[in-house]
Structure 1
Amino acid sequence: MGRVTERRKVIRIRDGAVSARPDTLVAEEPLEIRLNGKPLAITMRTPGDDFALAAGFLVSEGVLAHQQDLQNIVYCAGATVDGSNTYNIVDVKTAPGVVIPDITLERNVYTTSSCGLCGKASLDAVRTTARWPIDDTHDAHGAHGGEAPPVRLDPALLARLPDRLRAAQRVFDRTGGLHAAALFREDGELLDIREDVGRHNAVDKLVGRALQNGALPLSRTILLVSGRASFELAQKAVMAGIPVLAAVSAPSSLAVDLALESGLTLVGFLRGASMNVYAGEDRIALRAAAAQG
């Protein structure tokens, strides 16, 4: 298994003083994702939670939606001289009867830690592959036993979430070089957090773990990401049935378009008590915010 961090020599300059010392850096390695034995995509990621990353990636591709859709995930032997396992290739085998969307079969592209689903930023693609409508009338673990009141969030609760995410970032404290994605319940309870060199990988790891635990759709949850809200991240939220996506930085125009079309609540520039609501403002208690102001 690859290391999450690595040590490298660095020349440090502080107030004119020069010294040599080791520094802890976040590891970045390629991961090839194969689907039923056929290469599908390569992403640059931080090693760890690779099976969850692959599963989450295939949720966003419209391939997997339920725990039973997944037969198994295994590491494959890498391209080394002795044929040993490099832990940089995983093969996802779907259960019999799972239909692979045409758009996934045609994809076969290289992705990076920053671009996510490059070349497929299409509202139509999400519309045709999404399994669930954005529904906030069921519990946070996908149970459909009864109706519940719609999600209604106090802005003061949202304002506290970035600090909770930051406090839970273990590897960031050692490297300063990782993005994070966290999943919260509507009452602010932290359900899970994943870190990765790529924002979209961190989200895939969250969603993949939820799939493995039989917790999709994530109907009454908040997804918080440490950077900007791109189309890819909005897509992943929609595909996982997450009703609220919040980011500490700006959203892209296409992310806003997707949020408006799908019913996703999209919050950007979430910093302290300040935030911008770009879509789905019906889930935000705006009167409470006005009263606090």
Structure 2
Amino acid sequence: MSRVTARRRMRRITPSGEITRPDTLAVEEPLEIRIRGESLTVTMRTPGNDIDLVHGFLFGESLIADAADIHTARYCAGTDDAGHNTYNVLDLGLTGPVALPSRPFLTTGACGLCGRTALDEVRQRSRHPLPPPEPLVEAAVLARLPDALRRRQSVFDATGGLHAAGLFTTTGDILAVREDIGRHNAVDKVIGWALRENRIPATDLVLVVSGRASFELAQKAVLAGIPILAAVSAPSSLAVDLAAESGLTLAGFVRGDTMNIYTCPERIKG
């Protein structure tokens, strides 16, 4: 069994009786991110694609601007009871000086900030203005992307317990899909992939997420220069406000052949 999934015994109750058997669950473990040996933060995540995750996270927090800003990333320190590396501590070497933030990270749901302040912070941090709202993607293409994302969710198939995020071209080609128990982690992983592949700003790509579109997911799209965010479920009010102010096309309830377009519908043809 991989570290992405784990087996636990459970008792299943059905109309025809009970059965005790193992079940496959998504793994949730902490990842401590250190910079030059100094602890920056701890996030709960599903192990895998940790390098993409830290690139996306640090980019979203404006601690790096480019993949070249991280010159080393190594697992260290943490060991289990048997003395084996847990791969839950990642120490990063940066090419330049960085001031560690003294306040909560913006990407933790804007904790402690009012909506207006959160919107203002994103505007101040944004380095990549979104392209003009003009036709970029056919509605029929956008409508089929959540199904394409779902078909690539191999760990969800085994556990039913993971979120997913995917980056697509405007013609519907899949570039990267990542799964994680945290929806924000899944988005950090695909944005981290794009950063490492020199695809930021991603002004020609579409970000698709498997659940709802929260403020923090819209924020991550805006900071990465992604012009279109499509979600299988609903957006939050603050996500719509941010999308409207930033020029992000935000679509929710993208299911089958229907969708709700909340902001900048000009990018969607048909």
TM, length-normalised to structure 2: 0.91
In 1, are the aligned partners of 2:4 and 2:47 still within 8 Å (CA)? yes
Which of the residues 126, 132, 138 maps onto 1:130?
126
- Superposed CA deviations along residues 215-252 of structure 1, whole A, max 9, x for unmatched, are 21111010000000001001111111111001011111
Relative distance call for 1:35 and 1:151 in structure 2 (3 A) is: farther
Q: What is the rounded CA distance, in whole Å, between the counterparts of 2:250 and 2:243 in structure 1?
A: 6
In 2, are the aligned partners of 1:42 and 1:109 still within 8 Å (CA)? no
Q: What is the rounded CA distance, in whole Å, between the counterparts of 2:230 and 2:106 in structure 1?
A: 27
The RMSD of aligned alpha carbons is 2.3
Instruction: Tell me which amino acid in the other structure corresponds to 2:40.
Output: L
Query: How far is 1:257 from its partner?
Result: 1.1
Relative distance call for 1:117 and 1:51 in structure 2 (3 A) is: farther
Correspondence list, 1:211-230, <5 A: 211-230=195-214
Relative distance call for 1:6 and 1:81 in structure 2 (3 A) is: closer
Residue aligning to 1:141: none
Query: How far is 1:31 from its partner?
Result: 1.0
Q: What is the rounded CA distance, in whole Å, between the counterparts of 1:177 and 1:57 in structure 2?
A: 22
Structure 1: unaligned runs, 5 residues or longer: 138-149, 289-293
Residue aligning to 1:203: 187
Residue aligning to 2:158: 174
Q: What is the rounded CA distance, in whole Å, between the counterparts of 1:110 and 1:211 in structure 2?
A: 19
Deviates more, 1:189-198 or 1:214-223: 214-223
Query: How far is 1:118 from its partner?
Result: 3.8
Instruction: Tell me which amino acid in the other structure corresponds to 2:119.
Output: L
Instruction: Tell me which amino acid in the other structure corresponds to 1:5.
Output: T
Relative distance call for 1:163 and 1:82 in structure 2 (3 A) is: closer
Q: What is the rounded CA distance, in whole Å, between the counterparts of 2:7 and 2:90 in structure 1?
A: 26
Q: What is the rounded CA distance, in whole Å, between the counterparts of 2:19 and 2:82 in structure 1?
A: 40
Query: How far is 1:117 from its partner?
Result: 5.7
Count of residues paired in the alignment: 266
Instruction: Tell me which amino acid in the other structure corresponds to 1:89.
Output: V
Q: What is the rounded CA distance, in whole Å, between the counterparts of 1:249 and 1:205 in structure 2?
A: 20
In 1, are the aligned partners of 2:61 and 2:105 still within 8 Å (CA)? no
Q: What is the rounded CA distance, in whole Å, between the counterparts of 2:156 and 2:167 in structure 1?
A: 17
In 1, are the aligned partners of 2:75 and 2:87 still within 8 Å (CA)? yes
Residue aligning to 1:143: none
Which of the residues 226, 231, 238 maps onto 2:222?
238
Relative distance call for 1:118 and 1:34 in structure 2 (3 A) is: farther
Correspondence list, 1:51-90, <5 A: 51-78=51-78, 85-90=85-90
Deviates more, 1:205-214 or 1:172-181: 205-214
State the secondary structure of the residue aligned to 2:78.
coil
Structure 2: unaligned runs, 5 residues or longer: none
Instruction: Tell me which amino acid in the other structure corresponds to 1:31.
Output: L
Residue aligning to 2:23: 23
State the secondary structure of the residue aligned to 2:137.
coil
Relative distance call for 1:273 and 1:42 in structure 2 (3 A) is: same
Sequence identity, in percent?
A: 55
Query: How far is 1:14 from its partner?
Result: 2.5
Correspondence list, 1:1-293, <5 A: 3-78=3-78, 85-96=85-96, 100=99, 105-107=101-103, 118-119=111-112, 122-135=118-131, 150-285=134-269, 288=270
Q: What is the rounded CA distance, in whole Å, between the counterparts of 2:78 and 2:258 in structure 1?
A: 47
In 2, are the aligned partners of 1:40 and 1:107 still within 8 Å (CA)? no
Instruction: Tell me which amino acid in the other structure corresponds to 1:189.
Output: D
Q: What is the rounded CA distance, in whole Å, between the counterparts of 2:268 and 2:235 in structure 1?
A: 18
TM, length-normalised to structure 1: 0.84
Q: What is the rounded CA distance, in whole Å, between the counterparts of 1:51 and 1:131 in structure 2?
A: 22
State the secondary structure of the residue aligned to 1:193.
strand
Q: Hey, which bits of structure 1, 4+ residues long, moved more than 6 A? A: none
